[in-house]
Structure formats: structure tokens, C-alpha cells
Amino acid sequence: MPSPYRAIFSAPGTVGFSAAGFIGRMPLAMMGIGIVTMISQLTGRYGLAGALSATLAVSAAVLGPQVSRLVDRYGQRRVLRPATLITVAAVAGLLVCAKLELPEWTLFVFSACAGSVPSIGAMTRARWATIYRGAPRELHTAYSFESIVDEVCFIFGPIVSIGLSTVWFPEAGPLLAAVFLAAGVWWLTAQRATEPKPHPIEQHTGGSALRSPGLQVLVAAFVATGTIFGAVDVVTVAFAEESGHKAAASLVLAVYALGSCLAGAVFGLLHLKGEPSRRWVVGVCAMAVSMIPLQLAGNLPVLAVALFVAGLAIAPTMVTTMALVEAHVPRTKLTEGMSWTGTGLAVGVALGSSAAGWVVDAHGAAAGYAVPGVAGVLAAVVAFLGYRRLRRPVPTREGQGQREQREQDPDQPEQQHVA
């Protein structure tokens, strides 16, 4: 491991919560694609599969920030364990209903209830932010490492989920995802030493973290970005099935994540100067441009190469996003702020899965790649229009107080220079 990454793990407890976070995040890459694979195996209907995956994503988008807001107030252990139990029970209900071929509305009910899944990535990033507060370089490396973990999950998650559901039994992928979630959350919340201290409710002035204009731009762009991810997942599975190699979809999607993983590893070694907002806009535009080759892919090998190149823009953009969130959101609402970006992605995944499923059913898999193409254009438009809001944080009253405190304490640098 390069020395910058080795250095961040010198702090006590970092290895433990990172390992727990990895396990707890596997469902992020397994659940949605697992549901798509399961339903398509059982019914052959990609429209229904995409709609159920979209329902899960929308539910997570609504409930996820509320869970994170409670975490900011009461702590990770007190909130995450009950939320996880609800999610696991809902996933179990979904699998039973699918297996017994119960009415479709039951599938949607349990998919919606499963949306209370905690944002494990936000929880681990909040721990890093607490440990390396006032250490911009270390925090940049830590955020890069977290993006690598995200992409490793997306490399192996779809392989495991799709592979088990196609080779073993259809419900195997979502079932194992629920097991990973429960194990990861229990292990993470057992580590109390690195858990960020909760902030009493009286410190939460100014309403939701989403009132920040900068965060609004990030979330809006991430809706379009999530649409890319959701559509690529669904269309790639359908494309592989039309090619006669459905199980190969997991490998192709793993190549997509591998590109992002490698880019994130290199990005974490760099100490870039200049405005993070400018790098973020460039990253979003790069993701948009990378969708063009997908329209031309005629077979799985070409598609894999195109997706690898497309993945190179993902992790650096995500790392820069976390730095911008910290710049625009008060520390007492940091976990909630990070979760809102996940919410934007979840909403986008819902839209992308649903739209792509409909296009695939109506026009075939090749036409489905037009959905992420359009979403990339929308993401770039949002990034350009919102660039001014991102250049300099507009503090709330609470954020202004924190800035005044930093001016009195020169050892605590401005957070907008994290990246």
C-alpha cells in the first residue's frame, strides 16, 4: 500500500471500522442488481424488475437522510441497529413474496420498507472526518480510500449477487446482501472509540443540511449521475442476456467499477491545488462524455472496454464531492449532508433503472444505453449552472459561527481546502 494510505491507518481503530464499513457497504452494490436479476429470473420482466429496484432506491432516498439526521443527534449505535433490523426484515419479506409468487403489490411494499437501509459510506466517512479534522491531506487520502472501497464493492458485489442468483437460486443475491448488511452494521457500531460524538438537538439550528445552496447543486447533479449508474446496471444485464451470456453481466459491471477503483487509488496519492469546485465540474463533464462510446458497443468485449474508460471519471468526482459537502455543510450536520448526496444517487438510480427497464422492454438492450447518455448531458448542465454556488460556501448562521471560531484558531484550516 503506498505510504499516504499506510499513514492514515496509523490512527487507532481505523482498520477496524474500515473493514466493517466494507462489509456493510456490499449490499449497496448487491441489492438493486440482485433484485433485478431475481425478478428477471422468476418472471422474465425487466420492467417489473427495474420498477422494484427503483422503489427500493426511492425509499432509501427518502428515509436515508432521516436516518443520518438521527445519527447526528443520537449517535451511530443507537440508530443504525434498529434501522438495519427493519431493512433485513423487509428484504426477507420481499424474498418470500417473490418465491411464493404473491401479488405484485406485496413486492413493492417490502421493497419500500427496505429503504431504511443506513448509509454506511457516510458513517465511515464521518469517522474519518472526526479523526483527521484539521488535516486536509490525510482527509483527502481517507476520502479517496473510501471511494476505492466503494468501487471494490461494485467490482465484487454484482459478481457475487448475479452469480449466486443465476447459478444457485434466484433469491440468493439479495439474501446474502441482507446478511452482509447486518454483519457490517453490528461490527461497525460495536466500535465505540471511533464513533463521532452525537450533537444535541439544540445544536441543530437552521433546519436540514439541504438548505445549503452548494449541497443542493451537488444533490441535483447526483440525481443525474445516479440515473447513469442505475441505467447502466439494468441495460448491461439485458445486453448480456441478449448476447446469450447473462452471467457475464457481473464481469462487465466489475470492469466498470475497476476503472473507477484504479482512478481513485491514483487520485488519493495526489495533492492537487486549486478550486475543488472546478475539478468537480470537469469530473462531471468527463462522466457525461464517457457515455458516448456505450452507444456504439456491439458486443460484450467492446462494452467492457467502454465501461472501463467510463469508470475512470467516477471516483475522483466522488472524492471531490465529499470535500465540497464538508465545505458547504456545518459539522453538526455532516453525516446528514453526506447522506443527501447518496440520496441524490438513489433517486437517480431509481429513475435510471425504471427508464432503462422500460426502454429495454420496448426497444431492446442496445437502445437502452441512450438513457445514461441523456443523463450524462443533464449532469453536465447542472454542474455548469451551479458552478458559482460551489466556488465559495455560503454559510448558515451555524456555519458562520464555525468560521469565526476558525479565524480565532489558526490551527484549524478552512474546510473548503480539504481536497
Has residue 418 been placed in a domain?
Answer: no
Residue 64 · residue 359 · CB < 8 Å: no
Is the Cα dihedral 205, 206, 211, 213 positive or negative? negative
pLDDT digits (tens, 9 = 90+) for 134-186: 777 888 888 888 888 887 787 777 778 878 888 888 888 889 989 999 999 99
pTM over 0.75: no
- Give the torsion sign (CA, 60, 31, 318, 239): negative
Average pLDDT over residues 213-240: 87
Query: Given a cut of 60, is residue 51 above it in pLDDT?
Result: yes
Higher-scoring residue by pLDDT: 113, 270:
113
CATH number of the domain that residue 112 is part of = 1.20.1250.20
pLDDT score at 186 = 94
pLDDT of residue 376: 93
**Grid coordinates standing for 305?**
472496454
Tell me the residue type at 64. Answer: G
Confidence category of residue 409, pLDDT binned at 50, 70, 90: very low
In a domain, 113, yes or no: yes
At 307 the pLDDT is 92
∠ CA(347), CA(265), CA(16), 5° rounding? 80
Assess if residue 1 is contained within a domain: no
Asked if 332 contacts 206 with a C-beta cutoff of 8 angstroms, the reply is no
Is 95 part of a structural domain of the chain? yes
Write the burial class of residue 183 (CB in 10 Å: 0-12 exposed, 13-18 middle, 19+ buried).
Answer: middle
**Residue 400 pLDDT > 50:** no
CB 375 within 8 A of CB 224: yes
Q: How far apart are CA 122 and CA 127, in angstroms?
A: 9
Burial class (CB in 10 A: 0-12, 13-18, 19+), 244: exposed
Residue pair 251/304 in contact by the 8 Å Cβ criterion: yes
Across residues 389-405, what is the average pLDDT?
49
**Residues of the domain holding 91:** 14-197+208-397
Overall average pLDDT of the 328-332 stretch: 75
In a domain, 39, yes or no: yes
pLDDT by residue (tens digit) across 89-109? 999 999 998 888 888 889 999
Amino acid symbol at 381: V
Decide if 161 contacts 34 (C-beta within 8 A): yes
Summary mean pLDDT of the chain = 81
Residue 207's pLDDT is 59
> Is the model's pLDDT at 75 over the cut of 90?
no
Quote the number of domains for the chain: 1
Q: By mean pLDDT, which of 57-66, 121-130, 265-274, 391-400 is the weakest?
A: 391-400
Query: How does pLDDT run across 266-322, given as a tens digit for each residue?
Result: 887 777 777 788 888 999 999 999 999 988 887 888 999 999 999 898 888 888 888
CA dist 365 → 40, 275, 362, 369, 376 (Å):
14, 40, 9, 7, 18
pLDDT over 60 (residue 356): yes
* CB proximity list for 195: less than 8 A, separation 6 or greater: 75, 76, 77, 127, 189
